[in-house]
Structure 1
Amino acid sequence: MKYGRYEVVKELGRGTMGVVYQAHDPQIDRMVALKVLRPDRVVSQDFVLRFLREAKAIGRISHPNIVTVYDVGQDHGTIYIAMEFLEGRPLNEAIKGRTLPPDEAVQMCSEVAEALGYAHSKGITHRDIKPSNIILTPDHRTKLTDFGIARIEDPDAAQQTQAGDILGTPVYMAPEQVMGQKADGRTDLYALGVILYEMVVGKRPFGGGNIAAIFRSITHEPPEDPMKAGTFHHRELADLILKSLSKDPNQRFQTGQKMAAALKACLDAGAHPFPESTVSAEKPVRSKKAGIVIAVLCVCLAAGIIGYKTMQNPGEDASATAGAELPAASSLLDVASTPSGAQVFVDSAFKGTTPVNIPLHPGSYEIRLNLPGYYEWEAQLQIGEDQPAPLDVRLVSID
């Protein structure tokens, strides 16, 4: 099969928006990674624009630690992006079940911090920094990938994310992402701090038995000091990690360059990359908005349903959210919207217009609501067992 001039070799992975293939470019005889928008997404202009944003985001930047985009095209009624084919393995595979020596972890994270600092200087916020989006190449370099939900500071670009959308991967999300607030470069650096904690301690700083518990931990609980959480013993680096995990973005590193410099300096004997006072224990976030968001999330979890947007990568460690094997018993998804009359799609299949009751087996489903004149709403939802799962969506007018 071919897309444009690119000959597909094999499938590498698939997610909510598209499929990634290894493909051959005969024009210059090289392998590329070909990201192809799912055909059912082409019918939605909103998703087409969002897909093309990834190409625009990484196509206009050039950095040795960021994947390179070669080409964008259309074929077979869909859109594709040809990118640099990376040999190596994702960071989540490298750190699974083990910790890394501090110097190795610092080297990797400093490269990512510098790459993020460069992207931020170009007006691009990644918003989904996680180990599976960091590739370790055979020549011991890191490559940052998957800008699929990146935010671009472009006054000519349409805003694709409706207010209140939760984008990202839960265990690496910053408090402002959990609360549906604007994400900026400091949000990416927070996620990098979570990754660094995981690399040297062997576990993540925030967790829980379900997504609502994880979100509550992220927004309300201070992280355990890395020096007390495992066998890690490096005070300067521990303080750096705590600074990067500040719940207040103003207390974190303000640029990727500053975080990279601090990472390199903290391993030098006697180095103090930032004042000791900046890593003191924080007070939990207690804003009204945080309380409302957490309450809503808890209600959703009680009903057995919670949604978030992410590109799931092969081999992704889903231990924080995966449960036991789900039984075959049926449940009921009760979908309503304001205004009513929205078309409801479950895994791309039309199920009726709101309000509607949809019988489903327990499991994960992709839900979309469409109504002319309103932004499309989408979420990946986990349906619980033996109880109705209410979903009430307030659609946002395009005007």
Structure 2
Amino acid sequence: MSSSPASSSPAPAAQQPGQLLGGGRYTLLWMLAAGGSCLIWLARDERLGGTVALKFLQPHLAGDPHMRQELRQEAVQCRRLSHQNIVQLYDLYEAPGEDSFLVMEFVEGASLHTLRLERAATVFTWADLRPIILQLCSALDHAHAEAVIHRDLKPANIMVDQAGRVRLADLGISASLDDPYTELLGMRDTRGTVTFMSPQQHEGEPPQVSDDIYALGATLYELLCGVPPFHAGDIQHQLQAVPPQPIEARLKEKQLPCDTPVPVQEMIMKCLNKDPAIRPVSVRALAQVIAPEVVTQPLFLTPPPTATRSAPAHTGKRGTRGRFSNEFYIVMLVLGALLVIAIVTLWMVLAK
């Protein structure tokens, strides 16, 4: 992969706190995260106020046309997704003399990876994990309905904000189910995190919903057991040929109790089956094992685990039942009374 600049224009300077970018709109505050190919910065929006997250390519990749196209493709994929449990994309900024970057919602919280490590036994109980996973299922259900496969689902890419609301993040290598060129050109993409990817994704087969189902199972396994299904030795061989250890047995080795219901344990192990035909057919089918009542909802939306139901705030829009205000009805009653008085008065005059 070439890292040479696409043009002879001077390379932009590396990002620094206090730097103004995006035509002077965004002020960089501090770096939030650094990955193999990208950097995430917290920035202040000088035009609208508030903070946003800016996603840049690593400096040695910023001039690579292929990587810039990848960043653009991520923006295209994210634009298809509008959901309360998916990090929102605001914009893609591209301009001569500046690094391209994505402008995204800033989630003030922590990843499930970090939250797990902060727990006493570095594992979640099922009681604590259940409402989080239902929100994650809601996000994946929406993505799959839009024919988008995440392909890098793992605890580090799942954020939980301070209100307890889940945000699915990092669709950088997501793929579309309706992309005809992957199969037509025989393209094989094996990117992802090997401890969470399906055997089929590891072999570079075309993306399928079953890949995310496997990754969701591996994510649940790590959050409940403290380690992914395969984490030591020849992981690539185990991924293809060795069944994972059952959840209860893994916890017993660590002398930890298991509060995960047996049907949920069985469902997670089906997600991790080498054969995609044995995995749950959809995220909804998986969620139905966790909570049969939620999958009947039209939009399959789940509230944050700490949220309390309250009366909706006034938004200026009136629903079908609250179309008119109380003042309207009072005025109509007064007018009706005046009309009755006028009719009675007129009748008395005519009667004389």
Equivalent residue for 1:247, pick from 274, 297, 300: 274
> Where do residues 341-360 of structure 1 align in structure 2 (5 Å cutoff)?
none
Query: Within the alignment, does 1:219 sit opposite 2:240 as a pair?
Result: yes
Which residue, 277, 290, 312 being the options, matches 1:263? 290
Q: Are the counterparts in 2 of residues 111 and 260 from structure 1 also a CA contact under 8 Å?
A: no
Find the aligned partners of 2:147 and 2:47 in 1 and give their Cα distance.
33
Give the aligned partner of residue 164 of structure 2.
140
- In 1, Cα distance between the equivalents of 2:187 and 2:77? 21
| 1:4-24 residue CA offsets vs partner (Å, 9 max, x unmatched) | 111111111222322211001
1:154 Cα deviation after fit = 4.9
User: Normalising to structure 1: TM-score of the pair?
Assistant: 0.62
Which residue pairs with 1:199 in the alignment? Answer: 223
Contact 1:58 1:68 in 2 (8 A): yes
Residue 211 of structure 2 aligns with which residue? Answer: 187
The Cα offsets for residues 354-395 of structure 1, whole Å up to 9 and x where unpaired, read as xxxxxxxxxxxxxxxxxxxxxxxxxxxxxxxxxxxxxxxxxx
Corresponding residue for residue 110 of structure 2? 89
- For 1:147, the aligned partner's letter is L
1:162 and 1:30, CA in 2 relative to 1: closer, same or farther beyond 3 A? farther
Which of 109, 130, 138 is the equivalent residue of 2:133?
109
Q: Evaluate the alpha carbon distance shift between residue 26 and residue 156 of structure 1 in structure 2; reply closer, same or farther with a 3 A threshold.
A: farther
Alignment of 1:135-174 (within 5 A): 135-155=159-179, 163-174=187-198
- Aligned partner of 1:238 in structure 2 is 265
Q: Which residue of 2 aligns with 1:35?
A: 55
Residue 78 of structure 1 deviates from its aligned partner by 2.1
Alignment of 1:352-371 (within 5 A): none
Give 3-state SS (helix, strand or coil) of 2:100's partner.
strand
Q: Distance in 1 between matches of 2:229 and 2:58?
A: 35
Write the distance in 2 (CA, Å) between the matches of 1:89 and 1:191.
20
What is the distance in 2 between the residues matched to 1:157 and 1:205? 33
Q: Which residue of 2 aligns with 1:293?
A: none
Distance in 2 between residues matched to 1:199 and 1:126, nearest whole Å: 19
SS at match of 1:71: strand
The residue that corresponds to 1:51 in the other structure is 71
Question: Is the CA contact 1:240–1:263 (under 8 Å) kept in the aligned structure 2?
Answer: no
Sequence identity (%): 29
Structure 1 residue 71, shift from structure 2 partner: 1.1
Q: Under a length normalisation based on structure 2, what TM-score does the superposition of the two structures give?
A: 0.70
**Distance (whole Å) between structure 2 residues aligned to residue 255 and residue 27 of structure 1:** 42
1:42: Cα distance to partner? 4.1
Q: CA deviation at 1:202?
A: 2.8
* Residue-pair matches, total: 263
Q: Deviations over 1:11-61 (max 9, x none)?
A: 112223222110011221010000122344343322111111111111221
- Deviation of 1:157 after TM superposition, in Å, equals 7.7
* SS of residue in 2 equivalent to 1:21: strand
Q: Which residue matches 2:20? A: 2
Residue pair 1:3, 1:80 contacting (<8 A) in 2 also: no
Residue of structure 1 in register with 2:347 after alignment: none
Q: CA RMSD in A?
A: 2.3
In structure 2, do the counterparts of structure 1 residues 93 and 163 end up closer, same or farther at CA, with 3 Å as the change threshold?
A: same
Kindly indicate whether the alpha-carbon contact (under 8 Å) linking 2:188 and 2:206 is maintained by their aligned counterparts in 1: no
Q: SS state of the match for residue 195, structure 2? A: helix
What runs of 5+ residues in structure 2 fail to find an aligned partner? 1-18, 252-256, 294-352
91, 97, 101: which one aligns with 1:80: 101
For the Cα contact (< 8 Å) 2:173–2:191, is it kept in 1?
yes
Large movers: runs of 4+ above 6 Å: 156-159
Aligned-partner Cα distance in 2 for 1:177–1:124: 15
Deviations 1:54-89 (Å, cap 9, x if unpaired)? 111112211111000111112433211100000001
Q: Structure 1 residues 247, 44: CA separation in 2 closer, same or farther (over 3 Å shift)? A: same
Match of 1:17 in 2: 37
Q: 1:60 is matched with which residue: 80, 98, 110?
A: 80
Q: Aligned pair in 2 of structure 1 residues 67, 50: CA closer, same or farther (>3 Å)?
A: same
Structure ID, larger Rg: 2
CA–CA distance in structure 1, aligned partners of residues 190 and 41 of structure 2: 27
Given the superposition, is the C-alpha separation of residues 238 and 122 from structure 1 closer, same or farther in structure 2, using an over 3 Å criterion?
Answer: same
Deviation, structure 1 residue 240: 1.2
- Please give the secondary structure, in 2, of the residue aligned with 1:114: helix
Deviations 1:229-272 (A, max 9, x none): 21315311211111111111111112222222222249xxxxxx
- Unpaired segments of 5 or more residues in structure 1? 267-399
| Counterpart-to-counterpart distance in 2, 1:248 and 1:25 | 47
| More helix by percentage | 2
Decide whether the 8 Å contact of 1:17 with 1:51 is kept in 2.
Answer: no
